[in-house]
A and B are shown apart, each in its own frame.
Chain A
Amino acid sequence: MNVAITAQPKRKPSFSDWLKTLTFYELLVGMKATLKHLLNYKPITLQYPHEKRLLPENYRGMLALLRYDDGTEKCVGCDLCEAACPSRVIRVVSGEVPGEPTKRYSKEYYMDMTRCLFCGLCVDACPVDALGMTREFEWAVYDKRQLHLNKQQLLAIGDRAYPVREKRLELQHPNVAFFNVTFKHLPQKEN
């Protein structure tokens, strides 16, 4: 392949080019721009710890576990969040509720927030809306092990971020059959 590389025809510098070089024209244009910013001084920065940005409506911040209004945990230990998580943040240890064999809950629930990318897939995946995303973002810590959160910590985040809680599902919709809800009139399975 023979491609003739021809030199770009050099434009003969005109008189005005010569004059611009001599008077540092380009330099002066730049100096004018910076001076204009100095004279119409409008800072675009915020003094962060003193003034904070308004977060957008759908802000995805720290994850939290939620409770019903009677204080019971929403989580039913179904592991769907664990399956949905792309970064393997969540680890759920599921178990039966003692005395209520048809009902399950999460014995242990861990989130390794060092890996979380705040995509919100776990929140979407949860069938009982037990996970929520808060608007907290100031989670800088000195030891990264402090970002390995257990169930109590996640519930505490949910408690402070979601003061208004839902009713239990069976109380919301009395005539509908629910996943993971025990009904008192049915015979209990023996352990």
Chain B
Amino acid sequence: MEIGLRLAVSLAQIAAVMGVVMLTVMILTLAERKVLGWMQDRMGPMEVGPYGVLQPIADGLKLFFKEDIIPAGANKFLFTLAPILALVPAMIGFAVIPFGPTMTIELFGMQVKPFVISDINIGILYILAFASIGAYGIILGGWSSNSKYSLLGGLRSAAQVISYELNVGLAIVGVILLSGSLSLVKITEAQAGGFWNWFIIAMPFPQIFAFVVYVISSVAETNRVPFDLPEAESELVAGFFTEYSGMRFAFFFIAEYANMILVSCVAAALFLGGWNAPYPGTILGHLGLDALAWIENVVWFAAKVYFFLFLFFWLRATLPRLRYDQLMRFGWKVMLPIALGNIVLTAIAAYFFPR
């Protein structure tokens, strides 16, 4: 009985988070096309609904009813597995993201943390591990399609993910050194009390370089412009999902956007204080409405995440694609030394000026 109730509450939490993430993905597909259009003096989608706001629904319906083609000569098992392997890790990472303040509420006689599905003590490691599995979806999808474009896209993705996954991991180490924990909840709590405590500028050693490395690497990791070599549409048709259609294609599509949201959430939680407001406490809390203070925290978290998502669109509207050797040289010769140097300096600073 007890465990059944616990399971039901957890499932409800998971459903809520999944719903919010899926809704955000829907908004993102429209927002990206709109923002990109506005930046290029166009209007973006305008046909479905007023100002095209129902476009995501039309797209979803279209993809749902499209014929699902498995190309001749494709490895059927891996071809089916790949989209799932891409989508599930992108979704599963949200389990450890704290969306709001750490508090416990009493529900049916048990303690429930409403804003984080599971506060595991290796949260950030868990996200990194699953992000790496997500790369398998892309690589296997590229390989199993039996198409040269897909294969090239998959291979590029493999090389790119290996290069940039490393930088993401090393950029995060500085933050972990300062906060002394791998749990995203604890890392966020360590940044409470105003923007000067956020790890991007926090004493003893501001993580600004780590932040830049993380943002650039996360753009590369999510295969977005200017690092969209795995799906370079002017070179490889559509890269690793050239042969995919219908819902399988939609899975890759959703996975890409879910990954964007995930890396934005992690960036917000690690470097920009997560759900902490840039001033000590919360305005609603100071006004005596402590019960509603979580609204302000959640809004701040959403604002930070949406800032990063806007940055993704902004970069896409501005930058051309990198050449492959440039991508590799930048990853290994520029980003990696910066990330390593940041770890050394942060370690020294954290040793002499412990928080």
Name which of A35-43, A116-124, A128-136, A170-178 contacts chain B: A35-43
Pair B43/A34 contact, Cβ less than 8 Å: no
Pair A27/B42 contact, Cβ less than 8 Å: no
Question: Looking across the interface, which residue of chain A has its beta carbon closest to that of B311?
Answer: A31
Pair B39/A37 contact, Cβ less than 8 Å: yes
Q: Give the dominant DSSP class at B's interface.
A: helix
Interface check B111, CB cutoff 8 A: no
Pair A43/B43 contact, Cβ less than 8 Å: yes
Complex: A47 Cα to B43 Cα, angstroms: 9
Interface check B121, CB cutoff 8 A: no
Complex: A35 Cα to B314 Cα, angstroms: 8
Pair A34/B314 contact, Cβ less than 8 Å: yes
Chain A residues within 8 Å of chain B by Cβ, number: 14
Contact of B319 among A30, A44, A47 (CB under 8 A): A30
Complex: A42 Cα to B42 Cα, angstroms: 8
Contact of B41 among A31, A35, A42 (CB under 8 A): A42
Nearest-neighbour CB distance to chain B for A180, whole angstroms, equals 53
Query: Assuming A27-B319, A30-B319, is B40 touching A37 (CB within 8 A)?
Result: yes
Please encode chain A, from 172 to 189, with 1 for each CB lying within 8 Å of some chain B CB and 0 for all others: 000000000000000000
Query: Assuming A27-B319, A38-B35, is B41 touching A44 (CB within 8 A)?
Result: yes
List chain A residues, Cβ under 8 A from B250.
none
Pair A37/B41 contact, Cβ less than 8 Å: yes
Contact of A45 among B43, B314, B315, B318 (CB under 8 A): B43
Complex: A27 Cα to B317 Cα, angstroms: 12
Nearest-neighbour CB distance to chain A for B226, whole angstroms, equals 9
Pair A34/B41 contact, Cβ less than 8 Å: no
Pair A34/B42 contact, Cβ less than 8 Å: no
Pair A31/B318 contact, Cβ less than 8 Å: yes
Q: A41-B38, A41-B41 are in contact. List 20 more A-B contacts (CB 8 A).
A: A27-B319, A31-B314, A31-B318, A34-B39, A34-B318, A35-B39, A37-B38, A37-B40, A37-B41, A38-B38, A38-B39, A43-B37, A43-B38, A43-B41, A43-B42, A44-B41, A44-B42, A45-B41, A47-B43, A47-B46
Which A residues are closer than 8 A to B by beta carbons? 27, 30-31, 33-35, 37-38, 41-45, 47
**21 A-B interface contacts by CB (under 8 A):** A27-B318, A27-B319, A30-B318, A31-B314, A31-B315, A31-B318, A35-B314, A37-B38, A37-B39, A38-B35, A38-B39, A41-B41, A42-B41, A43-B37, A43-B41, A43-B42, A44-B42, A45-B41, A45-B42, A45-B43, A47-B43
